Amino acid sequence: MFPARNKTREIYLVNIRRSRGYSFEHRLVQRLNSGDWNARRLGGSSTGLPDIIAVNNKTGTLLTIEAKSGTGDILYVPADQIQQCLLVNQMFSYYEKRHIVLAFKFMRKKRFKRKDQIVYEGRQLVEHYKLANALSKTAEFPVVKCMYDGTTFAIYRNKCAKLPLPRYQMPFS
Give the span between the Cα atoms of 64 and 25, in whole angstroms: 12
Calculate the alpha carbon distances from 163 to 121, 146, 153 in Å. 28, 9, 4
Candidates 13, 16, 163, 173; CA nearest to 82 is 163
In a domain, 103, yes or no: yes
Burial 3-40, CB ≥16 within 10 A → b, else e: eeeeeeeeeeeeeeeeebbeebbeebbeebeeeebebe
Q: Is residue 172 part of a domain?
A: no
Residue 168: inside a domain? no
Return per-residue pLDDT of the chain as tens, 173 residues.
444 556 665 554 444 545 555 789 999 999 999 889 999 999 765 678 999 999 999 999 999 999 999 988 999 999 999 999 999 999 999 999 999 999 999 998 887 778 888 888 888 999 999 999 999 988 899 999 999 999 999 999 889 999 999 999 999 86
103 and 127 Cβ atoms separated by less than 8 Å: yes
Any domain includes 25: yes
For the chain, the domain total comes to 1
Q: C-alpha angle 121/27/86, rounded to 5°?
A: 105
Angle at 156 between CA 155 and CA 160, to 5 degrees: 40
Tell me what pLDDT residue 84 has: 94
Amino acid identity for residue 5 in this structure: R
| CATH (domain of 94) | 3.40.1350.10
Domain membership of residue 14 (yes or no) is yes
| Angle subtended at Cα 172 by Cα 168 and Cα 173, rounded to the nearest 5 degrees | 95
User: Of 28, 81, 37, 31, which is closest to residue 62 (Cα–Cα)?
Assistant: 37
Residue 171 falls within a domain, yes or no?
A: no
State the residue range of the domain holding 131: 7-162
